[in-house]
Amino acid sequence: MKYGHFDDEHREYVITRPDTPLPWINYLGSEDYFGLISNTAGGYSFYKDARLRRITRYRYNNAPLDFGGRYIYLRDEKDGGYWSPSWQPAQRELSEYSCRHGMGYTIIASTYGGIRAETRYFVPLGENLEVWQLTVTNQRDTKAELSVFSAVEFCLWDALDDSTNFQRNYSIGEVEVEDQVIYHKSEYRERRNHFAYFACSEKCEGFDTQRESFLGSYRSWDHPLAVERGKCSNSIAHGWQPVGSFHLHLSLLPGEQKKIIFILGYYENRKDQKFDPPDSQIINKQQVKPIIKKYLHQSNVTSAFASLRSYWDDVLGSFQVQTPNEHLNRMANIWNAYQCMVTFNISRSASSFESGVGRGLGFRDSNQDLLGFVHMVPPRARERILDLASTQLPSGGAYHQYQPLTKRGNNDIGSNFNDDPHWLVIAVAAYLRETGDWSILEENLPYDNKLGSEMPLYEHLQRSIQYTLDCLGPHGLPLIGRADWNDCLNLNCFSDVPGESFQTTTGKDGKIAESVFIAALFVESTRAMADLAGNYASQHRKNSWSFQINPPKHYHELADRMTQAIYEHGWDGEWFLRAYDDFGNKVGSNECEEGKIYIEPQGFCALAGVGLENGMAKKALDSVHARLVTPHGITLLQPPYSKYYLHLGEISSYPPGYKENGGIFCHNNPWVMIAETRTGNGDRALDYYLRINPSVREELSDLHRCEPYVYVQMIAGRDAPTHGEAKNSWLTGSAAWNYVAVTQWILGIRPTFDGLCVSPVMPSAWDGFEAVRRYRGVRYTIHVERRGDGNGISLEVDGSAIHGTTIPFPPDGTKNVRVTVKVG
Ligand code: GLC
Ligand code: GLC
pLDDT of residue 403: 82
Predicted pLDDT of residue 350: 95
Other beta carbons within 10 Å of 381: 25
User: Does residue 55 have a pLDDT over 80?
Assistant: yes
| Strand ranges inside 495-547, DSSP E | 514-515
pLDDT at res. 406: 84
Strands (E), 187-343: 194-200, 206-210, 242-252, 257-268, 319-322
Q: How many CB atoms lie within 10 A of CB 95?
A: 12
Residue 111 burial (10 A CB sphere; 0-12, 13-18, 19+): middle
* Mean pLDDT across 207-234: 98
- Give pLDDT, residue 548: 85
C-alpha distances in angstroms, 316 versus 311, 336, 376, 431, 693?
9, 10, 7, 18, 19
Region 174-200: mean pLDDT is: 98
Examine the pLDDT at 538 and tell me if it is beyond 90: no
Do the Cβ atoms of 135 and 118 come closer than 8 Å?
yes
> What integer pLDDT is reported at residue 111 of this predicted model?
98
Is the torsion defined by CA of 197, 203, 206, 212 positive or negative? negative
Q: Does residue 57 line the site of ligand 1, with CB under 6 A?
A: no
- Catalytic residue IDs: 487
806 beta partners = 757
Mutate to test the pocket of ligand 1, among 371, 487, 488, 654 (most ligand atoms within 8 A of CB): 487
Cα 600 from Cα 591, distance rounded (Å): 18
The pLDDT of residue 286 is 98
- Tell me whether the omega of the peptide bond preceding residue 456 falls within 30 degrees of 0, making it cis: no
Pocket of ligand 2, beta carbon within 6 A:
487-488, 503, 650, 659
C-alpha distance from residue 775 to each of 135, 245, 254 (Å)? 41, 48, 54
Span from the CA of 486 to the centroid of ligand 1 (angstroms): 6
- Per-residue model confidence as pLDDT tens digits over 390-407: 999 999 999 999 887 888
Closest to 763 measured CA to CA, from 639, 680, 672, 669: 680
Confidence of residue 537 (pLDDT cuts 50, 70, 90): confident
pLDDT of residue 739: 98
Mean of pLDDT values over 177-200: 98
Does the pLDDT value for residue 601 go beyond 90?
yes
Tell me if 73 sits within 8 A of 170, measured CB to CB. no
Ligand closest to the CA atom of residue 650: 2
Spacing, Cα 790 to ligand 1 middle (Å): 36
Does ligand 1 come within 6 angstroms of the Cβ of 354? no
Least confident of 345-349, 411-415, 421-425: 411-415
What average pLDDT does this structure show over 305-317? 98
- Percent above pLDDT 70 for the chain: 100
Which atom of ligand 1 lies at the shortest distance from residue 483's CA? 12
- Give the residue whose CA is nearest to atom 11 of ligand 2: 487
For residues 195 and 562, give the distance between their C-alpha atoms in angstroms, rounded to a whole number: 54
Find out whether the beta carbon of 483 lies less than 6 Å from any atom of ligand 1.
no
- Other CB atoms within 10 Å distance of the CB of residue 709: 25
Label residue 260 by pLDDT band (50, 70, 90).
very high
Instruction: Convert the pLDDT of each residue in 464-488 to its tens digit.
Output: 999 999 999 999 999 999 999 999 9
pLDDT at 12 over 80: yes
Q: Which of 314-328, 541-555, 586-600 has the weakest average pLDDT?
A: 541-555
Q: What is the pLDDT of residues 710-736, one digit of tens each?
A: 999 999 999 999 999 999 999 999 999
Atom of ligand 1 nearest to the CA of 359: 8
Confidence at 540, pLDDT banded by 50, 70, 90? confident
pLDDT tens column, 138-169: 999 999 999 999 999 999 999 999 999 999 99
**Mean pLDDT, residues 780-791:** 97
Mean pLDDT score across all residues of the chain: 97
**Cα-Cα end-to-end distance for the chain:** 39
In angstroms, what is the span from residue 714 Cα to ligand 1's centroid? 10
Cβ–ligand 1 contact at 486 (below 6 Å) = yes
378-392, 464-478, 527-541, 670-684 — which is least confidently predicted? Answer: 527-541
**Cα–Cα distance for residue pair 48/44, rounded to 1 Å:** 13
CA of 487 to the centre of ligand 1 (A): 6
Distance 243 CA to ligand 2 centre (A): 34
Q: Is the pLDDT of residue 46 over 90?
A: yes
Candidate from 418, 600, 667 with most ligand 1 atoms within 8 A of CB, to mutate: 667
Other beta carbons less than 10 A from residue 99's beta carbon? 29
What are the tens digits of pLDDT across the range 615-629? 999 999 999 999 999
Which ligand 2 atom is nearest residue 650's CA? Answer: 7
Half-sphere exposure of 355 (CA within 13 A, CB side): 13
- Band of residue 633 on the pLDDT scale cut at 50, 70, 90: very high
Q: Residue 468 to residues 289, 390, 396, 555, 708: CA-CA distances in angstroms? A: 54, 19, 9, 13, 39
Q: What is the pLDDT of residues 347-375, one digit of tens each?
A: 999 999 999 998 778 999 999 999 999 99
Asked if the model's pLDDT at residue 744 lies above 80, the reply is yes
- From 355, 488, 637, the mutation candidate for ligand 2 (largest count of ligand atoms within 8 A of CB) is 488
Counting from 1 in the atom list of ligand 1, the atom nearest the Cα of 728 is 7
